[in-house]
Structure 1
Amino acid sequence: MSLKCFKAYDIRGQLDTELNEDIAYRIGRAYGQIYQPKTIAVGCDVRLSSPALKQALIRGLNEAGVDVLDLGLTGTEEVYFAAFHLDVQGGIEVTASHNPMDYNGMKLVRENARPISADTGLKEIQALVESQQFVPSTSTGSCQNYNILPEFIEHLMGYIKDQTIRPLKLVMNAGNGAAGHVIDALEQKFKQLKLPVEFIKIHNEPNGHFPHGIPNPLLVENRESTRQAVLIHQADMGIAWDGDFDRCFLFDEKGQFIEGYYIVGLLAQAFLAKQAGEKIVHDPRLIWNTTDIIDKYQGIAVQSKSGHAFIKEVMREHNAVYGGEMSAHHYFRDFAYCDSGMIPWLLVLTVLTQTQQPLSVLVAQMIAQFPCSGEINFTVQDSQATIQRILQHYRSQEPQIDDTDGISLDFGHWRLNVRASNTEPLLRLNIESRNSPQTRPMQSYVDELSQLITQA
């Protein structure tokens, strides 16, 4: 029987119909049989179904002869951290991140937190889970609880070590997901070090019923509580996380949500201000603001296909200090090239201190210079045929064409990227422009492309 929960980058499915405890047990057996690790770290998010799925997974791993360190309630990046920091040979986080209530899933890594995706082993795990051709193990693994939090906090503090931080007031919105315990621990650490940062915590308690909505700040309706708290408390910045907190989303002191694209530029600046000449990896969807900042701060820009497996591979190949996607995934060399939702806002504190500017001013300069549409999704019958239609329509204008990921067309004063989704029947469009006399208003480009994509 073919299982639908195996995706391009992880495991994700509707409970009972696509993912259940039996499948979780088989995933544990398959991981253990294929990779034969001595020990792996396992954690889970706050979803009501996560603890039972985690126990079934651990049972499968143990029966495959694997010892397990049970990290308890964790975000995905705590499992990543354990996988490269501890003497283990892999890690699995049970999470459905920002998916609806009736979903769950898993994110899997090997030693040193190397990703397991469709191209790097997930298909082999799927095949074994489906066939159930399990070989009896000669030994049974053990399971013991392990608290990774103190070591994780020490690692996070390394990103602002020896940095002066100006007095700041921050709104922290964990969305009742897995981030709350890390926010609490960082708050204590900041107080201990007498850093002048005030934490205003909202929806901080983990609650799998998600009383304030699924933690997904990309949904406009989920941003209001962060925005309101920033305004009420006159905070310098708002930070909101998704369910497993591997992504964070920033709001300026006016409560305005900031596109992830511009955060990539800020983080590139944070690293290059400390060390010019470093390589920064970016995805091809929106690039001009990022490459402009990298040039300005004497770094080297490296383009990669979108998606965590590709970004991590390119970062390793080039020894890049940082990689950023406009989707709010940020990757760090000192974090084993993994994505983190905690490191980005810590680095932004250093930029706010160095520039002595409010966040809205820093971002306004970028937006004015390089406006963008944000990602617009279209449901289409045939993604590739639609992309070809766009290509034919603009061919006479002789744009520079880049096929790193989907198709990017560069017209000099404006640029578009269009690509098919890996997981849904969607076409994803991004448009950016330069502040130049030739440039039309952004909406006119959006209207033009929307008409072209939706025409029969």
Structure 2
Amino acid sequence: MQDLSLSCFKAYDLRGKVPKELNPDLAFKIGLAYATVFNPRTVAVGYDVRLSSPSLRSALIEGLNRGGADVKDIGLCGTEEIYHAVFNLGLDGGIMITASHNPKGYNGMKFVRQKAIPVSGDSGLNKIKELILKDSFHPASSSGLVEHIDNTSQYIAHLLSYVSLENLHPLKIVVDPGNGGAGKIVDFLEEHLPFNFVKINYEPDGDFPNGVPNPLLFENRAKTSQAVVRHKADMGIAWDGDFDRCFFFDENGEYIEGYYLVGLLAKMLLEKYPGEKILHDPRLTWNTREIVLQHGGVPLETKTGHAFIKERMRAENAVYGGEMSSHHYFRGFSYCDSGMIPWLLVAELLSVSGKKISEFIADAKESYPSSGEINRRVEDSEKCFKQVREEFQSKALAVTEIDGMSFEFADWRFNLRTSNTEPVIRLNVESRGNTMLMERMTEKILNLIDS
């Protein structure tokens, strides 16, 4: 193992370059350490389409077995299939081998305990890292067993429970897994749905011939957008590699910022569950808060990141939580995020209403224009944050530090934070109905950062 600092350990998962930062030797130790820290009886293990995933999976399972844990191996899957297997089958934990949307040479892992409760730095990940650094393990007197299982039918049934099949009408939908793993699940769902799917970048391929599956990157959106226009589809859906996030395109092929989907889904959930609590992250907030309050819900702001949001959702028993980065969390899914449930809910909305998806987000886009998330690599993030604070703090009506720094003014606001998964800082800006103001202030902040 070349990286003795274990730099692949992040705030709430593992991400690193293969093989320098993450390799089978380390994967074995991670499995053994996980078994040592949590003493699970049975753990679900799955992996994404990356070329390095099968070897990491074999080593991880060997480590878990050596620690005395039995393994339910569900094979090639999405992260949410691990979540579902753990809470549906009553397992003691789960580990998904994935680097989601990271570049091709990366891989990683996501960890959960019983009921798919996430493992973050504070809840066990740091202990796993410490055991590996100290080389302090406790192999079991007898090794655990491995069972290959197929949980797909129960997972599909759970997804379909979020919609009324009799409400669904024929829709044409472009689906773009980006050569990740989502296509397999769409195929299973297709058997039960009246939709016509136009499938692009569909075959799972860890070489990612059409680019890394990350629709947040502007250059990755063109094929989905063009396919929607060419086929006159009702909407387009794209996913990241492990499909725990889905990204929407309207009937004109225009990309819809995840921020506006949070408000739309919040409204839909509050219509079904009046008066419930809705969680949102601090990056872009005004539209979500307005919609939640208008529909009788309780908006709650929480720190960005799946581990933090799931913990708060459980504590508050919130029915839904949404991040503008297109993570959507549902109480019925054991407070976990899903890249399949959101588009099924939106498809039902389009079917029942007879409206276009653009009609449902037009007011939000006009009322609260936003920059979308802009990333910058900087040599000294602390110095950058200090400069931004010095420029804006005295002028702001409110400053909060729930996650990074959020500055609020009468007609615009922004959030600046460091990434938990990548060496970048992230900027989001929004305004009250003034696109020019939003664009001008975005440029001003970026110039300050770049300087």
TM-score range, shorter chain: over 0.9
Amino acid at match of 1:286: L
Alpha-carbon distance between aligned partners in 2 of 1:204 and 1:65, rounded to the nearest angstrom: 38
Query: Any idea what SS the aligned residue of 1:418 has?
Result: strand
2:25 pairs, out of 18, 22, 32, with 22
Alpha-carbon distance between aligned partners in 1 of 2:22 and 2:403, rounded to the nearest angstrom: 30
Whether the 8 Å contact between 1:381 and 1:425 is mirrored in structure 2 is: no
Partner residue of 1:350? 348
Alpha-carbon distance between aligned partners in 2 of 1:441 and 1:356, rounded to the nearest angstrom: 35
Q: Give the CA deviation at 1:442.
A: 2.1
2:438 pairs, out of 425, 436, 442, with 442
Partner residue of 2:370? 372
Query: Any idea what SS the aligned residue of 1:441 has?
Result: helix
Amino acid at match of 1:368: E
2:191 pairs, out of 183, 188, 191, with 188
Query: Any idea what SS the aligned residue of 1:244 has?
Result: coil
Alpha-carbon distance between aligned partners in 1 of 2:393 and 2:147, rounded to the nearest angstrom: 61
Residues 1:397 and 1:210: Cα distance change in structure 2 (over 3 Å) = closer
2:164 pairs, out of 142, 161, 166, with 161
Whether the 8 Å contact between 1:163 and 1:350 is mirrored in structure 2 is: no
Identity between Structure 1 and Structure 2 (%): 53
Query: Any idea what SS the aligned residue of 1:212 has?
Result: coil
Partner residue of 1:193? none
Query: CA deviation digits over 1:48-75, x for unaligned, max 9?
Result: 2111111111111111111111101110
Q: State whether structure 2 residue 73 is matched by structure 1 residue 73.
A: no
Query: Any idea what SS the aligned residue of 2:256 has?
Result: coil
2:399 pairs, out of 401, 410, 418, with 401
- Map 1:263-342; keep pairs closer than 5 Å: 263-342=261-340
Amino acid at match of 2:342: P
Partner residue of 1:362? 360
Alpha-carbon distance between aligned partners in 2 of 1:453 and 1:211, rounded to the nearest angstrom: 34
Partner residue of 1:251? 249
Q: Give the CA deviation at 1:203.
A: 2.1
Q: What residue ranges of structure 1 are gaps of 5+ in the alignment? A: 191-195
Residues 1:355 and 1:370: Cα distance change in structure 2 (over 3 Å) = farther
CA RMSD of aligned residues (A): 1.6
Residues 1:425 and 1:162: Cα distance change in structure 2 (over 3 Å) = closer
Q: State whether structure 2 residue 134 is matched by structure 1 residue 131.
A: yes
Residues 1:440 and 1:240: Cα distance change in structure 2 (over 3 Å) = closer
Alpha-carbon distance between aligned partners in 1 of 2:7 and 2:395, rounded to the nearest angstrom: 42
Whether the 8 Å contact between 1:352 and 1:359 is mirrored in structure 2 is: yes
Residues 1:231 and 1:26: Cα distance change in structure 2 (over 3 Å) = same
Alpha-carbon distance between aligned partners in 2 of 1:442 and 1:41, rounded to the nearest angstrom: 45
Query: CA deviation digits over 1:24-49, x for unaligned, max 9?
Result: 11111111111111101111111121
Alpha-carbon distance between aligned partners in 2 of 1:296 and 1:167, rounded to the nearest angstrom: 31
Query: Any idea what SS the aligned residue of 1:189 has?
Result: coil
Whether the 8 Å contact between 1:270 and 1:350 is mirrored in structure 2 is: no
Whether the 8 Å contact between 1:250 and 1:257 is mirrored in structure 2 is: yes
Alpha-carbon distance between aligned partners in 2 of 1:215 and 1:230, rounded to the nearest angstrom: 18
Query: Any idea what SS the aligned residue of 2:50 has?
Result: coil
Q: State whether structure 2 residue 40 is matched by structure 1 residue 42.
A: no
Given the two structures, how large is their TM-score scaled by the length of structure 2?
Answer: 0.96
Q: What residue ranges of structure 2 are gaps of 5+ in the alignment? A: none
Query: CA deviation digits over 1:418-450, x for unaligned, max 9?
Result: 1222344433211111126xx853221112222
1:388 pairs, out of 369, 386, 389, with 386
